[in-house]
Structure 1
Amino acid sequence: MSTKSKKFPPISAKLPAFMHGADYNPDQWLHDPQVLAEDIRMMKLAHCNVMGVGIFSWVALEPEEGLYRFEWLDRVLDTFAENGIYAWLATPSGARPAWMSEKYPEVLRVGASRQRNLHGMRHNHCFTSPVYREKVAQMNTRLAERYSSHPSILGWHVSNEYGGECHCDYCQEAFRGWLKRKYGSLDALNRAWWTAFWSHTYTSWSQVESPAPHGETMVHGQNLDWRRFVSDQTIDFYKHEIAPLKAVNPDLPCTVNMMDLFYGLDYREFAKAVDVISWDAYPTWHEADSDAGVASWFAFNHDLFRSLKKKPFMLMESTPSLTNWQPVSKLKRPGMHRLSSLQAVAHGSDTVQYFQWRKSRGSSEKFHGAVVDHVGHERTRVFEDVASLGKTLAGLTEVLGTTVPAETAILFDWDNRWAVNDAQGPRNKGIHYEETVMQQYRALWELGVPADIIGSFDDFSGYKLLVVPMAYLLREETGKKMERFVENGGTLFVTYWSGIVDENDLCHLNGFPGPLRKTLGVWAEEIDGLHDHDRNGLVMESGNELGLSGTFEIHELCEHIHAEGSRVLGVYGDDFYAGKPALTVNRFGAGKAYYLAARVSDPAFYEALYGKLAQDAGVRRALETALPAGVTAQLRTDGEHDYVFVQNFSGQAARVELDGRGYTDAESGEAVSAGTLLELPVHGIAILKRTAQA
């Protein structure tokens, strides 16, 4: 990226435009040669320029062991090249053929109960199995040798939505090897896992196994390390997959489609091995009158995936209409396809792609939405929506490669997520870590404050405001980084149940919040879990520097804290800790560190709080104006021009008064005067262009 332009090059130099297309499964239609010709015709009508091909095509490519059939794929890719259409060519490891499961049952996964699965589903294979690794390497080598120089190929779509775990003997040995490399000795492992509890001390490496429902599940360090191992082993398998691809052509980028806030894999670690981030987004639109809750969740995910590599990402899958697997498969209402697709662009995506191009005729996803319906022609509402969006994307090429200039960051770590949800702490019926993160993010989203989603090992220094929700697992070195961040002038906001354990899930001694006690100026003595019907109140102190007044409802969690040099901004209203601190601020060096000791339920509190924190920290908003509820603004910039995406998820028509800067409509080129009252219809979006501020 140029230091002056703040713009990245296109994901592929072959296609310097927004990628618009879908997963394409021609192997399902080999019995009907006319389908390919008709698909090419309609791809052009829909302004689609890229397809993902071969994602579950193993048996079509290798119908018998060692017998390869590439002719059909040759024909598809050659036809693409003749018609100006490009492809992300997939490795087919997401679902292996039945002949392999029959001949080599070791490739099938073993569950936590130690029972081996039957053939079926997807990703029902062991990432450690030598046979499966050998077969994948053979297939990927042949694909790379045959297609790496094909003019239609933009890059590799490696497997599909990695996930799951295996507990077979191969994986048990691999887990023990992983632990030996990490700890070096059984003594070190036993100390880290605190196995003296319940006499769980291991005296031989052979005694160590993965957690099992009929065995060990109560050693929290062991549970945490198993999750880390599963994630690392999956990443290792991915590296095994791409090795033959890179050996033939190291310049072709590799991606793997990730899933929204997926629990089982540490995507931040995974991202280090991936050339370009891509993910699959399937919002449950129209669950309520306002779509703001769903929109903010997916905005968070867009920001997360952009933040993994701090550059544009790919929306690899979405649906142009509906899914077939959600509890209620709701059609997208008019305007929502455009709005939800451009939401991804607003947060940094340089592609809009779908699952899938043509609806399958049978099996589990035959009713999943697609660009081409079972009727088989272009005269449908969905096709028209897709074609219209394709025109819009073709006209937004200047936005391609631009960045999101976030000055606010939210800390989100996978190992913290795993640890806090396994803590057996104050609310075993629901600690609600993810909801706590989203509570903070939603307020920033409503305010139109661009945000990055970062990890403990990332650099904090480029931000003005750092938000730390429920950092239960907090390393000493991370605490030191936050201390320096505040000392150097940053604003830190930390919530309850932070700084409780270290990286091994061992409690910090000498008082919570552990490494942050000095920075925050508080000691958290104990935490009270509230029943669902229990309520308390955050009573704001008169004249507090945040300018907040009144009482805000508290539920679920209340920490009993002591101010140790920090100023009290709000206190508890009820219970034996009434009048005790609930919200504090500590001036530390050139910055400020805030601590919220309880879960406030009122969204208005967070909007008012973050509005004040952002203002005081000098954090930029996409628009310096009041935004109606459910309407947000997101910003991309190339350093010379800003592109502001004003999005209406409120479920009703809305008006936004623009700030005092001059704008043009990025689609029409028409001037938009400063102070204009922008009219947004239901599910409406406006893309505005302005001169960037220095």
Structure 2
Amino acid sequence: MNKKTQVTSANFMLHGGDYNPDQWLDYPEILADDIRLMKVANTNTFSIGIFAWSALEPTEGHYQFEWLDQIFENITSIGGRVILATPSGARPAWMSEKYPEVLRVDAYRRKQLHGGRHNHCFSSAIYREKTQQMNRLLVERYGNHPSLLMWHISNEYGGECHCDHCQEAFREWLRVKYLDNLKALNHAWWGPFWSHTISDWSQIESPSPIGESMVHGLNLDWRRFVTDQTIGFYENEIVPLRELTPDIPITTNFMADTFDLIPFQSLDYSKFSKHLDVISWDAYPAWHNDWESTANLAMKVGFINDLYRSLKQQPFLLMESTPSGVNWHPVNKAKRPGMHLLSAMQMVAHGSDSILYFQWRKSRGSSEKFHGAVVDHDNNSNNRVFQDVARVGDTLENLSEVVGTNRQADVAILYDWESNWALNDAQGFGMETKQYPQTLQEHYRYFWEQDIPVDVITKEEKFDSYRLLIVPMLYLMSEETIERLKSYVANGGHLVMSYLSGIVNEHDLTYLGGWHQSLQDIFGLEPKETDTYYPTDENVVIFQGHAYTVKDYATVISAKGAKVEAIYQKDFYAETAAVTSHSYQEGKAYYIGARIEASFQRDFYSQLVSDLQLEPVWKVKHEEGVSVQAREDLTNYYMFVMNFTEQKQSIEFESTVYDMKSNEELNRQQELTPYEVLIVRRPK
């Protein structure tokens, strides 16, 4: 784990971002000035061609690569590197006009018009042919260019199509999944419910609001199909790239849902990640919002970083961010002084080997003309945002030895896209209070606050390397996952699980006979029912002599050998178990039966961490709102001490540390100004 794993051939931190020279081909003075400003901004890497199809192929079969040749040479002249994108994220108008099948059909069965972006059909044979043809021309022309660093495939894959081609592709996908056996499909979908039994494959349609699907197995399989169809389209795109440039790494940019700052929900990234060489993602937190503290938002950013880093257990890339505001939040607030460097260093602290922006230069027109950029409409290198970017570049130049390093974690939290899909579809519990990703972040919070590193893993990963595995609200569990959890505990692992876990199998069918017997064996209990609360309802649990408030959910538990750690105080299940522990063979399993306030989780995990002797390897004394995160190699810890508050904060190192820029020994006591970050090295 401590060995370096460089995800690109660059031995420096990447700094730059999305560059759209195709918008400025009639402005040669702008293109010339870009090169000058790139050096002033301390940038070195640029993503090119993401939306450039109409500039590369203005009419069918008529190609214009000369402008891109020149851009390559311009960037090469300053020692820069290029991340070359395939342009499939936005088609030229001539293609939509001549080949209307490339346009998506929405869930209402309405054909979409040309416009916007990402509204192409992933099943379209013509679009697959055209994208692969374009990509082959790109790789033949630029595959051996010395400045080519990596391939950026399309852009922010997402969405779905319901056209006739996609319906046929879905039916074929189901035929393969269910071995051409309609009886197996009907059993998995519980077909007799409301007379939904399928008697011919042609009767299957994708879910639609026109006739809202109550067949949850169908809904779940459709979401799986959308992921697989998207991956299939991506795999078609990269054929010539793998063929002609097998040593050039490939990525595509993942996303997060911005306002809640939870993982992107429409695609199962745990599947998609296996097809990428490098994970990259686009981060746009709403800093300085009016509904949460800066530290709370930083915790959520940390969770997503640790999830995307853990997908491949290697450094990732921040492919897009903004040096200040965006243009699509309800309120597009500028970053306050210091926040840009702080937010950039948080990404690096959690495993990013890049700080890249959308965008290099603001567009002059259309929907992104006011989206944040390095170069504003004033073309001025002296404005605040440009200077903030230059400062980040200067800081990154001192972090070359951090490139390729990772984070060692003894604690893991399990996140699962399929389980969240199924839980959200379930017509039960609280329709607005399920909040699966947010619940996982609440469990993550304690470890982030205590500077204890966490891997956020998926169910396919190995469990046995972790001393503590936390599995909240894993509603959907296959028998395979259950048995792997059982083996983990039996072999000495410590497992924490919560309410609404293990209720349905991989087909979204409930387990008969109550909770799965293996789960009963592990936890020494049986959940009897789940009480769902109105917003005004609450209960109280007593844990180690202290009272804590319960909201939203409470599980009525029948303890069968489990030790009762906390009890309810109210309602018909007063004086019964709310939290339990149970030794199972060599390990121990804990069950949290209710959604309990944050202070309970701090106290519960504090005790558990003490029992397991889990500690941060980089102890720094600090107050709430300061985060200390680190990466490591065989000889050093690289520590990022970050003040996510609006007040000065005092910190104290427990041992000798060295400033990353000057390499000088620092005083152990330091004061951080608001939004300040201190980057130090500590020898092992």
TM interval, shorter chain, is over 0.9
- Look up the match of 1:98: 93
How far apart, in 2, do the equivalents of 1:223 and 1:424 lie? Answer: 13
How far apart, in 1, do the equivalents of 2:426 and 2:471 lie? Answer: 18
**What is the deviation of 1:84?**
0.6
2:672 to 674, 680, 684: 680
Residues 104/460 of structure 1: CA separation in 2 closer, same or farther (3 Å cut): same
Letter of the structure 1 residue corresponding to residue 566 of structure 2: G
How far apart, in 2, do the equivalents of 1:404 and 1:549 lie? Answer: 36
**What is the deviation of 1:112?**
0.8
Question: Any idea what SS the aligned residue of 2:238 has?
Answer: helix
How many pairs align? Answer: 676
2:59 to 55, 58, 64: 64
Is 1:396 matched up with 2:388? Answer: no
2:169 to 156, 166, 174: 174
Is 1:207 matched up with 2:207? Answer: no
Contact 1:321 1:369 in 2 (8 A): yes
**What is the deviation of 1:292?**
1.2
Contact 1:405 1:635 in 2 (8 A): no
Is 1:290 matched up with 2:293? Answer: yes
Contact 2:622 2:649 in 1 (8 A): no
Is 1:665 matched up with 2:659? Answer: yes
Is 1:247 matched up with 2:243? Answer: yes
Q: How does 1:603-682 map to 2 (within 5 A)?
A: 603-659=598-654, 661-673=655-667, 676-682=668-674
Contact 1:93 1:159 in 2 (8 A): yes
**CA RMSD in angstroms, aligned pairs only:** 1.3
**What is the deviation of 1:446?**
0.9
Runs of 4+ in 1 over 4 A off after TM superposition: none
TM-score normalized with structure 1 length: 0.96
Deviations, residues 88-119 of structure 1 (Å, cap 9, x unaligned)? 01100001011111111111000111111111
How far apart, in 1, do the equivalents of 2:559 and 2:662 lie? Answer: 56
Deviations, residues 364-396 of structure 1 (Å, cap 9, x unaligned)? 010011000100120111111111111111111
- Look up the match of 2:682: 690
Residues 452/517 of structure 1: CA separation in 2 closer, same or farther (3 Å cut): same
How far apart, in 2, do the equivalents of 1:142 and 1:170 lie? Answer: 27
How far apart, in 2, do the equivalents of 1:513 and 1:409 lie? Answer: 23
**What is the deviation of 1:244?**
1.4
Q: How does 1:42-61 map to 2 (within 5 A)?
A: 42-61=37-56
Contact 1:107 1:129 in 2 (8 A): yes
Question: Any idea what SS the aligned residue of 2:104 has?
Answer: coil
Question: Any idea what SS the aligned residue of 2:311 has?
Answer: helix
Letter of the structure 2 residue corresponding to residue 520 of structure 1: F
How far apart, in 1, do the equivalents of 2:189 and 2:616 lie? Answer: 45
- Look up the match of 2:351: 348
- Look up the match of 1:197: 193
Letter of the structure 1 residue corresponding to residue 569 of structure 2: G
- Look up the match of 2:583: 587
Contact 1:527 1:558 in 2 (8 A): yes
Letter of the structure 2 residue corresponding to residue 155 of structure 1: M
Is 1:531 matched up with 2:534? Answer: yes
Deviations, residues 124-183 of structure 1 (Å, cap 9, x unaligned)? 000000111111111111111111011111111110000000000100111011111111
How far apart, in 2, do the equivalents of 1:153 and 1:587 lie? Answer: 55
Residues 555/514 of structure 1: CA separation in 2 closer, same or farther (3 Å cut): farther
Deviations, residues 379-429 of structure 1 (Å, cap 9, x unaligned)? 111111111111111111111111110111100011011011111121123
Question: Any idea what SS the aligned residue of 2:166 has?
Answer: helix
**What is the deviation of 1:608?**
2.0
Question: Any idea what SS the aligned residue of 1:136 has?
Answer: helix
Question: Any idea what SS the aligned residue of 1:44 has?
Answer: helix
Deviations, residues 538-575 of structure 1 (Å, cap 9, x unaligned)? 112xxxxxxx4311110001110111111001011111
Contact 1:450 1:622 in 2 (8 A): no
**What is the deviation of 1:622?**
4.6
Question: Any idea what SS the aligned residue of 1:99 has?
Answer: helix
Contact 1:539 1:571 in 2 (8 A): yes
TM-score normalized with structure 2 length: 0.97
How far apart, in 1, do the equivalents of 2:428 and 2:680 lie? Answer: 48
Specify every segment of 5 or more residues in structure 2 that has no aligned partner in the other structure, as ranges.
257-262
1:476 to 462, 475, 479: 479
**What is the deviation of 1:650?**
2.3
**What is the deviation of 1:503?**
0.5
Which region of structure 1 is more displaced relative to structure 2, 640-649 or 184-193? 640-649
- Look up the match of 1:269: 271
How far apart, in 1, do the equivalents of 2:619 and 2:378 lie? Answer: 48
**What is the deviation of 1:515?**
4.0
Deviations, residues 322-344 of structure 1 (Å, cap 9, x unaligned)? 10111111111111000100000
Q: How does 1:122-141 map to 2 (within 5 A)?
A: 122-141=117-136
How far apart, in 2, do the equivalents of 1:43 and 1:620 lie? Answer: 42
Q: How does 1:483-632 map to 2 (within 5 A)?
A: 483-512=486-515, 515-540=518-543, 548-600=544-596, 602-632=597-627
How far apart, in 1, do the equivalents of 2:540 and 2:582 lie? Answer: 22
Specify every segment of 5 or more residues in structure 1 that has no aligned partner in the other structure, as ranges.
541-547
**What is the deviation of 1:458?**
0.7
**What is the deviation of 1:216?**
4.7
Question: Any idea what SS the aligned residue of 1:498 has?
Answer: coil
Question: Any idea what SS the aligned residue of 1:309 has?
Answer: coil
- Look up the match of 2:15: 20
**What is the deviation of 1:611?**
2.2
- Look up the match of 1:448: 451
Letter of the structure 1 residue corresponding to residue 75 of structure 2: F
Question: Any idea what SS the aligned residue of 1:59 has?
Answer: helix
- Look up the match of 2:329: 326
Contact 1:322 1:330 in 2 (8 A): yes
Letter of the structure 2 residue corresponding to residue 633 of structure 1: V
Residues 52/514 of structure 1: CA separation in 2 closer, same or farther (3 Å cut): farther
Letter of the structure 2 residue corresponding to residue 507 of structure 1: T
How far apart, in 2, do the equivalents of 1:215 and 1:603 lie? Answer: 41
Is 1:218 matched up with 2:214? Answer: yes
Is 1:142 matched up with 2:145? Answer: no
**What is the deviation of 1:490?**
1.5
**What is the deviation of 1:513?**
5.7
Question: Any idea what SS the aligned residue of 1:52 has?
Answer: strand
**What is the deviation of 1:314?**
0.2
How far apart, in 2, do the equivalents of 1:622 and 1:170 lie? Answer: 54
How far apart, in 2, do the equivalents of 1:592 and 1:662 lie? Answer: 37
How far apart, in 1, do the equivalents of 2:371 and 2:57 lie? Answer: 27
How far apart, in 2, do the equivalents of 1:336 and 1:282 lie? Answer: 13
- Look up the match of 1:7: 4
**What is the deviation of 1:17?**
0.4
How far apart, in 2, do the equivalents of 1:12 and 1:248 lie? Answer: 17
Percentage of identical aligned residues: 51
How far apart, in 2, do the equivalents of 1:593 and 1:322 lie? Answer: 45
Contact 1:443 1:607 in 2 (8 A): yes
Question: Any idea what SS the aligned residue of 1:449 has?
Answer: coil
How far apart, in 2, do the equivalents of 1:429 and 1:81 lie? Answer: 52
Contact 2:410 2:465 in 1 (8 A): yes
Letter of the structure 1 residue corresponding to residue 523 of structure 2: L
How far apart, in 2, do the equivalents of 1:141 and 1:617 lie? Answer: 54
Contact 2:641 2:677 in 1 (8 A): yes
How far apart, in 2, do the equivalents of 1:615 and 1:688 lie? Answer: 27
2:233 to 216, 229, 237: 237
Q: How does 1:419-434 map to 2 (within 5 A)?
A: 419-434=422-437
Contact 1:490 1:617 in 2 (8 A): no
Residues 27/631 of structure 1: CA separation in 2 closer, same or farther (3 Å cut): same
Deviations, residues 414-463 of structure 1 (Å, cap 9, x unaligned)? 10110111111211233111221111011211111111111111100110
Letter of the structure 1 residue corresponding to residue 203 of structure 2: Q
Question: Any idea what SS the aligned residue of 1:671 has?
Answer: coil
Contact 2:620 2:628 in 1 (8 A): no
Question: Any idea what SS the aligned residue of 2:549 has?
Answer: strand
How far apart, in 2, do the equivalents of 1:639 and 1:590 lie? Answer: 31
Letter of the structure 1 residue corresponding to residue 223 of structure 2: R
Contact 1:447 1:627 in 2 (8 A): no
Residues 518/218 of structure 1: CA separation in 2 closer, same or farther (3 Å cut): same
